[in-house]
Structures are given as structure tokens and as C-alpha cells.
């Protein structure tokens, strides 16, 4: 039985293990109460930050957008180009752009099928009005940070130590050392250090020491043997200097590299002097100018694209109205079963109408989209119950530009080229500083010290007041002012790596960087000249196309009139009339497309030759400062005027800036000569934009009868 019982027990245990599997088990705890409220079953969760940033009113207050099914709006906003650009600049805290969809660089025509999402996809790449100030106040690369390296540094420390230490001494050693050392020590150190533009370091410091202990070697009374001076005060004033003579010397080097140019982590030279910081600020200003220019360019492009969208809508409406009229006539004949009302002709006329109707719906949607792009560039709400309509007309005058003058402006006024030239100047200065590192390090050092020691810190007499016991009744400062104890040190420190391997590699590195930046500038200038050529060609081509399409438009109108008269006289077929109406609509749209492209190409030519901001009356200038800033600056100016001028021009760096750029287009000479466009076949002039929108079209998909459709009016 016991053997059988054991076999049954083993079998039962095996079955239990097989049934339970190999799953891990939680341990058993005696004092577990089942409260697991502190348990969190996730490491990361999507959460909102704790902030009080309210959404923008223009974004949160947008009304329902205009669509084909919701075309109603309160009123028309007649907007001029000047007002659009002014609004865009006033709301341009972040210099918005359309993400490259618009041909700001003279490329293809703008597209309006996608919303601008450049800020959502890459917000760090979008410039803002804060960028120049951020660069100016950078704590590592800014101008103030570079100047701060030359500021005087005040340092001070105070320590107090208590000593209670057993010492392993005995015998005759107790005559010098105590078996238990008891004492107090204090140390007060205060100093100021100043770096100069020549690379020198000047310092002035004071150190005051207090020492009180039971050492048996202190001054004792010769009669009683008691220690009579258990504590002493010592103070000293040091004047120090360190002047580099070779490496690190000179105003030029220190203004380029700065006094602390080595990276503490890798020990490599990192130049961050005042001149390089100033160039960084100039580079940020060039980026800011380019951002403002792109904002103005995209705003103007959006404005003229909205103008074309309205004109294209009017052309499609004209085609729809004429096709509807033709369909109604054919449909009436079709109902009466008369000649000219055959089923194929009725279907052809009906197809022509719905073709133009779809064109009107698409053109109306393009109006809404273009209007939304302009609103985005202006920084206003996406919809506010108003519909923007451009009030300015594109130019139809021939504008010719002097090529040589335009080329000179493109190569001298481009913000991108000016930025690259600043980068080259930066690399040139860095190369000058790198060459200084090839010199060996030779520093002249010196120190002069005044010492004083006494029983008291203040008061008492000099060190020789009591010749028998020189420290009794003395004061540290009295001894100091007596001038009895003076020390000085003069010397030189020399350091030179054998081979200058890293220094020579640093020079070569900066030489290659300079060569690369110069090569980039040359290719950028070549690219700028090619882009200017394309812009000039676009101006000439679009003007020629505007003339050609103008005459095409006049001819198409006359053709429709002639074919309509012939069709009424039953001398031509219906398809000829419908084809003439379609070609008239295409000619109308093509004419306004070429006129808008001509105006856009003039803007892009100014963009290429660096005069777009002046062309739109925009000038960049520093904004006003607080009144306290002007007050302090005026006081600094008066202080400098009353100071002594120190001329160290022999070591002053050469000129690296040629002054402010000219933003006045008239100062360079106006190179645009305008002549009025004279059409070969005078007919109609450019009419103002008519009242905007047709009634909401129907939404039925089944074939419709022209009697059931609303009668369109030429508004």
C-alpha cells in the first residue's frame, strides 16, 4: 500500500503540473490587503501639458467655411494689394509661407489644392520677428556673451575650520607638537580679475588668515613659559598679471577667438569672440530680411491668384450662360420635333451646359481656396462672414528693365548672397585666429604682494612695536601699512608642442572651410544670374502672351457673334456654335491668366534683383526701445565723451563691414521704364470684377430640363 500510494501521489502531482502549465506565479504575501490603487499599468501615456496658453481668437473664432453647398456670406471685402501686404506684416510675428507651393522663385504657377502646413510640419524652420533678438542674446554665441568674457570677475570665499585632532607624539616631540591639537582657522579671500582685449589678465586680491591653536612653538613668556600669542592674523594684497606675447596675444586675435576658446569637453578650439558674434547677428538679420521678403512675395502671389480666380469664374459663367441659352433653344425645337431639335443635338447642347456648369463649380471652389490662402498669408481668420475680392487691377503696361543694372542689383542686394558673404568673412576671421595657434605659448607673468601679520586684525602697532616680543600688541593691517614685508615675482612661461600637429590641422581645416564657402558663393552668384535671366524672360514672354491672348479674346468674341448669327440663319451647325462658345471661354480665361502671370513675373523680377520690398514700399528698421534704454545709452555716450581715449589702432582688426545697405530704390536709380500696352486690335478694356457669385447650383444627378434650371444673369 505505501508503494502504491506513493505512485498515485506522483501521478497526481504530474497531472497537476501538466494542467497548470509553465505560467509564472505571483508570490504570496502575508500582510496583503488587496489595495492596489498605487499600481499603474502603463509607463507612458498621452497627456496635455500644464499651461495657460489660450488659442488665438482668429483661429478659435473661425466661422463655417464657404463651400458650394454653403456659398452665403455677409458682405464683400474690397481689398487692395497695399492693404493686404500691410495686414500680413502687422500680423507677421511668425513669417508665414505657403510651404513652397507658390512659385516664389519664379517657378510654376501657384497651386491652391492643398492647405499650407509648413508650420505644422516643421515649425523650427519658419523664421519669426524674434530670431534676430534671440541670436543677439544667445548665452553662448551672442554679442553680449562674447563681451561678457572681458568683464571684471569678482570672487570671494570665506571658510572656518575647527581642529580637534589627536597626534601620535611623545618624548621630545611634545616640545614641538601637542598630543591633542586644538585650534580654529579662518580664511577670507576676495579678489577681482579682468581680461583685456590684448589677452592680458590683471588681478587684485586680498587674503586674510586667522590661526588659533595650542601649538607649543608659539611665542611664550620667557618667565612663566605661558603662550602669550595663541592666535595670529595675517593679511596680504596681491597684484598679478599675465600677458601672452606670442600665442593668444593681440587685440585682433582676442576679438575673434575670445579669451576662453577651448571646449571644456573635447579640448578643441572654439572661436566665439566679439567679431564672430557680431557676424552671427548680421547673418540673422539677413535671414530675417529674407523671411519678410518671402512673406511679402507669397502675399502678393496669393492676391493676384485670387484676382485670376475671380476672372476665371466670370469667364466660366459667361460660357455657362451662353450654353444654357443655346440648350434652351435646341430643347424647345426638340420638344416641338422641329428641324434643329434632333436628339443628338439636344444631348450635345446639354453636355456643353453641364461641362460649363462643372467648370463654374470648380472655379467657384478655386475662389474660395485662393481667398483662404490670402487670409492665411494676412494672418486673419479663415472665415469671418466676409468674402475678399481684390480691388487692384494687374498692370497691362510694358515694363522693361535695364539688364546691367538689374544684374548688378541681383548680385549686390540679394539677402542670400549677403548672408553667404558674411559667412565667408566669418571663415576668414577664424582662419586668422587659427594661424595664431601655430605660435608657441610664451606668457610673461608677475606678482607683487604686500604682507602684514599681527596679534589683532585691526588696531595695534607695527611689527617692530615690541622688539622683545614682535607679535605682542601688533595688528595685521598696521604691519601691512608699514610696508616692511613685500614680495614680488616675475617670470615667463613657455609651452610648445613638438610638431604642432593639431594646430596645423586646425589651420588646414579652416582653410578648407573658407575655400568651400567661397566656392558656394560663386555658385550662388551663378545661380542668381540664371534665375534673373529666367525672370527677365518670363516678363517678356508673359507680356507677349498677354497681347496675343488679348487679340485672341477679341477674335473669339467676334467669332461667337458671327457663328451665332449664322446659326440663327441655319447656315452653320450647332456643334460649330458650341465650339465657338467654348473657345471664347478658354480665350477669356487664357487672357486673364497671361495678364496675371505678367504682373507676377514683374514681382518675381524684383524678387530676383533684391528690390521686392522697396517695390511694395516695405522698409526694415529697428523698432523703438523703452525710454530707460535711451536714457542709459545717452549716459554711456556722455561717459565715453568725458573719458580718455586709448588708441591702440596698430592692433585693431581691419574693416569687416561696409555699413548699412541701401533700402531706397531711388538711390540706386530707377531702371524700370513703363509704356502703355497698345493692343493690335482695340476692343474692350479690362473690366472691373463683376458681382461675384451665381446662385447655388442644383445637386440633382439625373438629366435635367433647361426649363427647370435657374436663369443665370450676367451680374
Please report the pLDDT score of residue 49 as a whole number: 83
From first CA to last CA, the distance across the chain in angstroms is 113
Short-list 3, 34, 59, 151, CA closest to 382: 59
Own/partner pairs, 661-666, CB within 8 angstroms, 24+ separation: 661/413, 661/418, 663/613, 663/614, 663/619, 663/620, 664/614, 665/611, 665/614, 665/615
Give SS3 for 241: strand
Instruction: Identify the pLDDT of residue 19.
Output: 57
* pLDDT of 102 over the 70 cut: no
Which range, of 21-35, 203-217, 563-577, 686-700, averages the lowest pLDDT?
A: 686-700
Q: What is the pLDDT of residue 345?
A: 85
pLDDT at 714: 37
Q: How far does CA 321 lie from the centroid of its chain?
A: 51
Q: What is the mean pLDDT of residues 530-541?
A: 94
d(CA 614, CA 663): 7
* Residue pair 543/400 in contact by the 8 Å Cβ criterion: no
The DSSP string of 326-386 is HHHHHHHHHHHT-TT--HHHHHHHHHHHHHHHHHHHHHHHHHHHHHHHHHHHHT--S-SSE
Q: What is the mean pLDDT of residues 90-114?
A: 64
**Cα–Cα distance list, 26 to 23, 32, 97, 342, 365 (Å):** 10, 12, 59, 88, 65
Per DSSP bridges, beta strands 75-79 and 386-390 are parallel
The CA distance from 120 to 101, in Å, is 15
Of all residues in the chain, what percent carry a pLDDT higher than 90?
43
Given a cut of 60, whether residue 233 has pLDDT beyond it is: yes
pLDDT in the model for residue 70: 85
Give pLDDT tens digits for 323-356.
Answer: 898 888 888 888 888 877 788 888 888 998 999 9
Q: Give the pLDDT band (50/70/90) at residue 699.
A: very low
Closest CA to 318 of 17, 660, 588: 588
Query: Among the listed ranges 95-99, 105-109, 473-477, 702-706, which one has the minimum average pLDDT value?
Result: 105-109
- Helix-then-strand count for the chain, H and E: 16, 10
Name the average pLDDT for the chain.
82
Cα–Cα distance between 477 and 686 in angstroms, integer?
A: 96
Question: Is the pLDDT at 258 greater than 80, yes or no?
Answer: yes
pLDDT score of 715: 35
If DSSP codes are grouped into helix, strand and coil, which group holds residue 116?
coil
The Cα 202–Cα 195 span in angstroms is 6
Among 414, 428, 468, which residue's Cα sits nearest to residue 613?
Answer: 414
Q: Nearest 10 degrees: CA dihedral of 699, 704, 708, 711? A: 80
Rounded to whole angstroms, the Cα distance separating 89 from 95 reads 8
What pLDDT score does 262 carry?
Answer: 57
Please give the pLDDT value at position 35: 85
| pLDDT category of residue 106 using cuts at 50, 70 and 90 | very low
Contact yes or no for 261/233 (Cβ under 8 A):
no
Q: What residue has cell string 453647398? A: 69
212-216, 479-483, 571-575: least confident range: 212-216
pLDDT confidence tier of residue 272, bands split at 50, 70 and 90: confident
- Predicted confidence at residue 246, as pLDDT, reads 92
Exposed/middle/buried for residue 54 (C-beta within 10 Å: 0-12, 13-18, 19+)? exposed
d(CA 439, CA 494): 11
Residue 650 in this model has a pLDDT that exceeds 90: no
More confident: 647 or 714: 647
Residue 713, all three cell numbers: 444673369
Bridge partner list, 386: 75
pLDDT value of position 670:
44
- Of 505 and 8, the structure prediction assigns the larger pLDDT to 505
DSSP assignment of 40-72, as one string? -S-S----------PPPHHHHT--PPP-SS---
**pLDDT at position 694:** 36
pLDDT at site 191? 96
- In which band, very low, low, confident or very high, does the pLDDT at 669 lie, cut at 50, 70 and 90? very low
Q: 205-214, 393-402, 655-664: lowest mean pLDDT where?
A: 655-664
Please give the share of the chain, as a percent, with pLDDT higher than 70.
Answer: 80
Q: By the 8 A CB rule, do 334 and 341 touch?
A: yes
pLDDT at residue 145 in the model: 87
Which SS3 state, helix, strand or coil, does residue 526 take? Answer: helix
Residue among 656, 641, 636 nearest 255 (CA): 656
Return the pLDDT at 297: 92
Judged against a pLDDT cut of 60, whether residue 550 lies above it is answered with yes
Which of 693, 207, 262, 190 has its CA nearest to residue 441?
262
In terms of Cα–Cα distance, which of 390, 299, 288 is closest to 97?
299
288 vs 459: CA distance, rounded Å: 65
Output the pLDDT for position 476: 86
Q: What is the pLDDT of residue 676?
A: 37
**Contact call for residues 475 and 456 (beta carbons, < 8 A):** yes
Kindly report which listed range (456-465, 489-498, 536-545) carries the lowest average pLDDT score: 456-465
Strand-pair partners of 488: 448
Contact 291, 285 (CB under 8 A): no
Q: Which of 688, 615, 592, 686 is nearest to 81 (CA)?
A: 615
CA atoms within 13 A on the CB side of 84: 30
Give the pLDDT confidence score for residue 590 in this predicted structure: 93
DSSP alpha helix (H) spans, 149-273: 251-257
pLDDT digits (tens, 9 = 90+) for 600-649: 999 999 999 999 999 998 988 888 888 898 899 899 888 888 877 666 54
Amino acid at each position: 500500500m505505501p508503494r502504491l500510494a506513493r505512485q498515485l501521489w506522483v501521478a497526481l502531482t504530474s497531472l497537476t503540473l501538466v494542467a497548470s502549465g509553465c505560467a509564472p506565479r505571483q508570490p504570496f504575501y502575508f500582510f496583503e490587503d488587496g489595495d492596489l490603487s498605487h499600481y499603474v499599468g502603463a509607463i507612458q501615456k498621452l497627456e496635455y501639458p500644464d499651461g495657460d496658453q489660450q488659442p488665438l481668437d482668429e483661429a478659435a473664432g473661425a466661422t463655417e467655411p464657404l463651400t458650394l453647398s454653403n456659398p452665403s456670406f455677409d458682405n464683400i471685402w474690397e481689398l487692395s494689394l497695399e492693404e493686404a501686404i500691410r495686414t500680413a506684416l502687422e500680423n507677421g510675428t511668425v513669417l508665414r509661407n505657403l510651404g513652397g507651393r507658390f512659385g516664389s522663385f519664379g517657378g510654376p504657377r501657384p497651386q491652391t489644392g492643398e492647405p499650407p502646413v509648413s508650420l505644422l510640419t516643421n515649425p523650427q524652420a519658419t523664421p519669426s520677428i524674434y530670431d534676430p533678438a534671440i541670436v543677439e542674446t544667445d548665452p553662448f554665441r551672442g554679442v553680449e556673451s562674447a563681451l561678457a568674457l572681458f568683464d571684471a570677475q569678482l570672487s570671494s570665499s570665506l571658510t572656518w575650520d575647527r581642529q580637534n585632532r589627536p597626534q601620535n607624539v611623545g618624548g621630545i616631540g611634545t616640545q614641538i607638537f601637542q598630543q591633542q591639537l586644538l585650534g580654529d582657522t579662518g580664511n577670507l579671500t576676495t579678489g577681482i580679475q579682468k581680461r583685456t582685449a590684448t589677452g592680458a589678465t590683471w588681478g587684485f586680491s586680498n587674503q586674510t588668515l586667522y590661526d588659533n591653536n595650542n601649538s607649543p612653538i608659539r611665542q611664550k613668556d620667557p618667565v612663566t613659559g605661558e603662550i602669550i600669542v595663541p592666535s595670529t592674523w595675517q593679511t596680504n594684497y596681491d597684484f598679478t598679471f599675465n600677458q601672452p606675447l606670442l600665442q593668444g596675444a593681440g587685440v585682433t586675435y582676442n576679438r575673434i577667438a575670445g579669451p576662453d576658446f577651448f571646449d571644456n569637453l573635447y579640448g578643441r578650439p572654439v572661436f566665439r569672440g566679439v567679431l564672430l558674434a557680431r557676424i552671427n547677428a548680421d547673418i540673422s538679420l539677413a535671414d530675417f530680411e529674407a523671411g519678410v521678403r518671402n512673406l511679402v512675395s507669397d502675399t502678393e502671389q496669393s492676391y493676384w491668384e485670387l484676382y485670376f480666380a475671380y476672372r476665371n469664374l466670370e469667364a466660366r459663367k459667361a460660357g455657362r450662360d451662353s450654353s444654357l441659352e443655346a440648350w434652351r433653344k435646341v430643347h424647345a425645337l426638340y420638344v416641338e420635333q422641329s428641324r434643329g431639335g434632333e436628339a443628338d443635338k439636344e444631348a450635345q447642347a446639354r453636355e456643353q451646359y453641364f461641362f460649363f456648369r462643372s467648370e463654374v463649380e470648380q472655379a467657384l471652389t478655386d475662389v474660395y481656396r485662393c481667398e483662404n490662402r490670402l487670409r492665411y498669408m494676412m494672418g486673419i481668420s479663415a472665415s469671418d462672414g466676409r468674402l475678399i475680392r481684390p480691388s487692384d487691377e494687374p498692370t497691362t503696361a510694358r515694363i522693361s528693365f535695364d539688364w546691367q543694372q538689374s544684374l548688378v542689383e541681383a548680385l549686390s542686394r540679394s539677402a542670400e548672397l549677403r548672408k553667404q558673404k558674411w559667412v565667408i568673412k566669418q571663415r576668414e576671421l577664424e582662419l586668422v585666429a587659427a594661424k595664431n595657434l601655430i605660435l608657441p605659448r610664451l606668457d610673461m607673468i608677475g606678482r607683487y604682494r604686500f604682507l602684514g601679520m599681527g596679534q589683532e586684525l585691526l588696531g595695534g602697532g607695527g611689527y617692530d612695536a615690541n622688539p622683545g616680543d614682535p607679535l605682542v600688541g601688533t595688528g595685521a593691517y598696521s604691519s601691512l601699512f608699514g610696508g616692511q614685508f613685500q614680495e614680488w615675482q616675475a617670470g615667463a612661461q613657455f609651452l610648445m608642442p613638438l610638431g604642432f600637429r593639431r594646430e596645423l590641422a586646425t589651420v588646414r581645416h579652416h582653410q578648407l572651410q573658407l575655400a568651400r564657402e567661397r566656392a558656394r558663393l560663386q555658385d550662388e552668384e551663378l545661380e542668381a544670374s540664371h534665375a534673373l535671366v529666367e525672370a527677365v524672360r518670363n516678363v517678356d514672354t508673359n507680356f507677349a502672351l498677354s497681347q496675343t491672348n488679348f487679340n485672341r479674346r477679341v477674335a473669339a468674341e467676334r467669332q461667337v457673334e458671327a457663328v451665332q448669327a449664322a446659326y440663327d440663319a441655319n447656315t452653320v451647325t450647332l456643334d460649330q456654335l458650341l465650339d465657338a462658345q467654348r473657345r471664347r471661354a478658354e480665350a477669356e480665361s487664357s487672357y486673364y491668366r497671361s495678364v496675371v502671370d505678367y504682373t507676377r513675373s514683374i514681382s518675381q523680377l524684383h524678387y530676383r534683383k533684391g528690390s521686392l520690398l522697396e517695390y511694395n514700399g516695405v522698409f526694415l528698421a529697428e523698432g523703438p526701445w523703452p525710454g530707460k534704454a535711451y536714457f542709459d545709452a545717452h549716459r554711456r555716450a556722455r561717459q565715453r565723451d568725458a573719458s580718455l581715449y586709448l588708441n591702440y589702432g596698430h592692433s585693431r582688426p581691419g574693416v569687416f563691414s561696409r555699413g548699412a545697405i541701401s533700402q531706397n530704390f531711388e538711390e540706386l536709380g530707377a531702371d524700370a521704364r513703363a509704356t502703355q500696352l497698345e493692343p493690335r486690335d482695340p476692343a474692350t478694356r479690362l473690366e472691373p470684377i463683376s458681382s461675384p457669385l451665381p446662385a447655388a447650383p442644383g445637386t440633382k444627378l439625373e438629366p435635367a430640363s433647361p426649363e427647370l434650371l435657374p436663369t443665370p444673369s450676367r451680374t
